[in-house]
């Protein structure tokens, strides 16, 4: 008898979610097999990289992270444009760092204004990432959802504490939500149930499983994502059949290993190369675990990852 390669039996499919509108809109999800298992099923929409842009000039970035954006780093609109025009970004994530109540705590209206400017200036889909403070995000993302009517942007992180406020506006203004839960399959699922019960359309949800950077909990994120995908694809768990987004860039770039220079510790080698590789390895790992969108910072690591996706989807 001829040898037959054993196949996984899939019973589910990830929903397709469209972000953005017009010709630049991007569709993610839709797979009916494990990530890149294209010999067992279909992956109609390849995973995407989203470039991150901050809403205000970052104060603590490494010299080698600033370098590609030095000319635009004080202006979110120009920064986003450079990502798109120079580095071919297909998605932009705007990180609303300046709104953080533990930091600058810029008022909602001011920050929302910045978001509007960026979203008006670009053709590619915009994802807006709040502060992580439940209360602030409830106000901020609500306002942004309202101001961005018709743009089909994605807003998040939406937690079990503020899903009602943000979810209701997302429904009203037809935006996508990024449902964020702390590295746990059940919590992810519970939030999705709450959101769908609220009336959020099932093709308007992305899962944010909470991302740990390489060496800082990436393995937890990995196994939770793996289990998310197993439940969604082989156990017909409808409430987990949503695309996954990983906001990984800030996690990678804040680690000690991405900050130390060669002079600080010669054993660690060249700092730029090291950070770029750390970012690429983190993103690669997340993609292999099932991410549909990874958020990245450095154009060099992005190009490595795009090569990888290209090869695996060829």
Q: Which residues bind other proteins (CB under 8 A)?
A: 160, 164, 184-187, 189-190, 193-194, 197, 239
CB nearer other proteins, residue 18 or residue 230:
230
Structure tokens at 129: 């990432």
Whichever of 14 and 187 has its CB closer to other proteins, that residue is: 187
Nearest approach in angstroms of CB 187 to other proteins is 6
Closer CB to other proteins, residue 231 or residue 309? 231
Q: Would you give the end-to-end CA distance of the chain in angstroms?
A: 31
Least gap, CB of 199 to other proteins (angstroms):
9
- According to DSSP H, which parts of 75-206 are helical? 76-85, 108-121, 134-147, 163-172, 185-198
Asked if 30 and 13 count as a contact pair (C-beta separation under 8 A), the reply is: yes
Q: How many residues does the chain have?
A: 314
Residue 134's Cβ-side half-sphere holds a number of Cα atoms within 13 Å equal to 9
Nearer to other proteins, 45 or 210 (CB): 210
- Minimum gap (Å) between residue 188 Cβ and other proteins: 10
With contact defined as beta carbons under 8 Å apart, do 262 and 271 qualify? Answer: yes
Shortest reach from residue 222's CB to other proteins, in Å: 16
Min dist CB 184 to other proteins, Å, is 6
Rank residues 38 and 164 by Cβ distance to other proteins and give the closer one.
164
CB of 168 to other proteins, least distance (A): 10
- Which strands form 154-158's sheet, in the order they lie side by side? 205-208, 176-180, 154-158, 126-129, 91-95, 48-54, 293-296, 245-246
DSSP 236-297: --GGG-S-BEE--HHHHHTSGGGT--TTT-GGG--HHHHHHHHHHHHHHHHHHHT-SEEEE-
> Nearer to other proteins by C-beta: 86 or 197?
197
């Amino acid at each position: 008898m001829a040898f037959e390669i054993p196949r996984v039996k899939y019973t589910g499919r990830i929903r397709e979610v469209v972000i953005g509108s017009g010709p630049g809109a991007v569709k993610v999800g839709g797979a009916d097999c494990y990530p890149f298992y294209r010999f067992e099923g279909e992956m109609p929409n390849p995973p995407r990289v989203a470039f991150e842009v901050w809403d205000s000039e970052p104060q603590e970035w490494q010299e080698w992270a600033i370098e590609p954006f030095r000319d635009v780093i004080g202006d979110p609109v120009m920064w986003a444009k450079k990502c798109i025009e120079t580095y071919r970004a297909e998605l932009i994530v705007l990180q609303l760092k300046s709104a953080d109540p533990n930091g600058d705590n810029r008022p909602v209206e001011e920050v929302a204004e910045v978001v509007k400017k960026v979203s008006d200036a670009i053709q590619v889909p915009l994802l807006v990432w709040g502060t992580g403070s439940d209360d602030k995000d409830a106000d901020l993302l609500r306002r942004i959802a309202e101001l961005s009517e018709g743009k089909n942007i994605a807003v998040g992180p939406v937690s079990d504490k503020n899903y009602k406020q943000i979810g209701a506006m997302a429904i009203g203004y037809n935006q996508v939500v990024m449902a964020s839960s702390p590295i746990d399959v059940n919590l992810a699922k519970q939030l999705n149930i709450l959101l769908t019960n609220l009336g959020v359309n099932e093709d308007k949800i992305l899962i944010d499983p909470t991302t740990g950077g390489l060496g800082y909990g990436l393995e937890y994120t990995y196994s939770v994502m793996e289990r998310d995908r197993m439940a969604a694809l082989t156990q017909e768990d409808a409430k987990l059949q949503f695309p996954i987004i990983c906001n990984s860039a800030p996690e990678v770039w804040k680690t000690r290993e991405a900050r130390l220079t060669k002079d600080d510790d010669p054993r660690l080698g060249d700092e730029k190369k090291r950070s770029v590789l750390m970012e690429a390895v983190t993103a690669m790992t997340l993609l292999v675990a099932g991410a549909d969108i990874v958020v990245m910072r450095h154009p060099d690591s992005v190009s490595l990852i795009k090569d990888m996706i290209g090869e695996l989807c060829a």
